[in-house]
Amino acid sequence: MITAYYRFESLSQTVRNAYKINSPSRIDCVAVWNPKGYSGLNVYRSPKGMLFFYFVESRDLVKTGDLRRASYALSNGKQNLTSLYFDRSGSKQYRYGFPNGKLVLYDGSPNPALPYRHDAYLFICDWKRQVIELLVIQDGKPFIDSLYHDLVNGKYEKQLRRIRMDAGPYFLYNSL
């Protein structure tokens, strides 16, 4: 069911200093599990090969109904990966989202994430440790509500334990 897994963390101050990372809202991909070669996040990769996002407040609170809300987004500074939605009935630890499905971005340029617009993103957030785990479900957007509730209800726990053990580094950070 899970197509790919990405683990994002706030890096240690030593590593942040070595790579001249100044933003406290930046989280970097430190681990990945991607046996099927999912390429939907490749459009966000930096020229150095890093994958990172800024955890930022949404420009405007995204309201899509009484139960579904998003006040935060993951952005690479040029475009958003997704807003982080949550259902009030769910745990604050869990969020969901999906790629931008518009043909063009805000600046009028073509949307490089358009081919992935039908994918679903599920997030497990450890707010205290500044860790966000992203589970990608390819072509799962039509089923996002069900997938989210399955996550909240623990349906993926067994698979996640195995994935976390099998995940490897995305980029080899060192303190130079």
pLDDT in tens, 7-45: 999 999 999 999 999 999 999 999 999 999 999 999 999
Indicate the domain borders of the chain: 4-169
pTM for this predicted structure: 0.91
Rounded Cα gap, residues 7 and 27, in angstroms: 9
Distances (CA, A) of 166 to 5, 11, 42, 48: 10, 21, 20, 24
Rounded Cα gap, residues 32 and 45, in angstroms: 13
Give the per-residue SS3 of 89-145. CCCCCEEEECCCCCCECCCCCECCCHHHCCCEEEEEEECCCCEEEEEEECCCHHHHH
Mention every residue, 6+ apart, whose C-beta is less than 8 A from residue 163. 2, 5, 33
pLDDT by position in tens, the chain (length 176): 899 999 999 999 999 999 999 999 999 999 999 999 999 999 999 999 999 999 888 765 444 554 556 668 899 888 889 988 887 666 789 999 999 889 998 888 999 999 999 999 999 999 888 999 999 999 999 999 999 999 999 999 999 999 999 999 999 998 55
Rounded Cα gap, residues 36 and 94, in angstroms: 24
Distances (CA, A) of 14 to 49, 114, 119: 20, 36, 35
